[in-house]
Structure formats: C-alpha cells, structure tokens
Amino acid sequence: MRRWSLGFLLCGSVTLSAATLTVTTSGTYSPTTPTSSWTAPNATWSLSFNVDSNPMVSNSTAGVDFDAPVTNFVYKLNGTTVNVGTVDVAFFSTAESGLINIGVLGSAANTTALPTNGIELFGPQAYSGTEAAPTILPNTYAETLNTLVVAGTPSPQALGTVTITAAAPPGVPAPPSSILALFGLAAVGIFFGVSRRRVRA
C-alpha cells in the first residue's frame, strides 16, 4: 500500500492536505426570524465549509480577528442547498468574544459590528497563535451568543455548537490504465525472464 501511495505522489495523481479542516454548525431558526431568500421562521438550517488549519489570512488585526479563505461552503435551509452568494468568514479572539462571524451575500465578516447579512457566533477562541499567523484548532465549541442578521436587522437565535474536525481525505482513485498497462508489461517481462533462466539452467 505504501508503494502505491508513493507511486501516485510521484506521478502527481493525488494531492492530499492533512491541514484541511471542516467547520460545521446548524440549528432551527426562531419563530420571529425574518423571511428572506435564505432564512425563514422555524426552519432548520446548517452550514459547512473547509478551511486550512494554518490559513493565509487577510485583514488581520492583532488581538482582534482575521479573515480566512474557505472552500466548499454549503448552506442548507430545511435540507435544501441555498446559494448565499459570496461568503466571508472571520475568526475572533477571546477579547472580541471569540468564535466566528459568517457574512453572506457579499457581506463582510471581518468587523466588530454585525455583518449586513450573516451569522455572528460568540464563544471560545478557535485558534492559537497570532491573528497574522494563526493555527485553527479542531474541537467542538459551545456558542455563548448566536445572532442572525438579515438586511442589517439582528435576530437572536438559540445557542448551538460549532464543530471543527479534520476533513476526510479524498478517496484514492484507481490507477490510470496506462500505469496498469506498464505494470502488466513488467510482469510479463519478469515472467519470461524467469522462464529463460530456467531453460538455461
């Protein structure tokens, strides 16, 4: 198995990143939640995204927060995926009430004020190191405040958790047919080589 992995790495067929993390959170919106293209009263919701454990941050402020690039952002309302446009995610220090802000529909998350559209989640600080060079830490973080913001209007929500885990590695694909053919030819060559040696013996 190790030989196969080495072969694939040398051929550039597989790229693995042990530093990729998955962030997830979910809940049920309150009865007073505004109705919008991405929210509704009493609706279940969930979101998830991937982020590097040592992200290339932007808009970092020492002792306050930093923006982290994310991938594979998925937001669901009542189990249906909803397009929430451009997403911005910021991680906050303990001094700024910790956890994360998530801006959607082009809203900035990296702000001590509320995003125009998005979710503000207070709780423990989810990283170590400095805001300029953080390490995001896998764990389950209990929220101390959950505020939904729709068109600038805040809507308090029930508390939940934010879970950060190591992302599942991609499946190892079957080797390309060209590689299989090479192994086949090598096996045939070995077979005939052994046969010839036996004949000469």
Specify whether 135 is located in the same domain as 120.
Answer: yes
What tens digit of pLDDT does each residue of 7-51 get? 333 344 434 444 999 999 999 999 999 999 999 999 999 999 999
Specify whether 107 is located in the same domain as 198.
Answer: no
pTM: 0.75
Kindly report the average pLDDT of the chain as a whole number: 82
Specify whether 53 is located in the same domain as 112.
Answer: yes
Specify whether 9 is located in the same domain as 88.
Answer: no
Specify whether 103 is located in the same domain as 185.
Answer: no
Specify whether 43 is located in the same domain as 112.
Answer: yes
Number of domains in the chain: 2
Specify whether 160 is located in the same domain as 184.
Answer: no
Specify whether 88 is located in the same domain as 151.
Answer: yes
Specify whether 179 is located in the same domain as 144.
Answer: no
What tens digit of pLDDT does each residue of 129-161 get? 999 999 999 999 999 999 999 999 999 999 999
Specify whether 124 is located in the same domain as 162.
Answer: yes
Cβ proximity of 66 and 132 under 8 Å: yes
Specify whether 29 is located in the same domain as 12.
Answer: no
Q: Which domain holds residue 1?
A: 1-16+172-201
- Tokens 């909803």 label which residue? 82
Tell me the three-class secondary structure of the chain, residue by residue.
CHHHHHHHHHHCCCCCCCCEEEEEEEEECCCCCCCCCCCCCCCEEEEEEEEECCCCCEEEECCCEEECCEEEEEEEECCEECCCCCCEEEEECHHHCCCEEEECCCCCCCCCCCCCCEEEEECCCCEEECCCCEEECCEEEECCEEEEEECCEEEECCCCEEEEEECCCCCCCCCCHHHHHHHHHHHHHHHHHHHHHHHHC
What tens digit of pLDDT does each residue of 67-86 get? 999 999 999 999 999 999 99
Specify whether 10 is located in the same domain as 27.
Answer: no
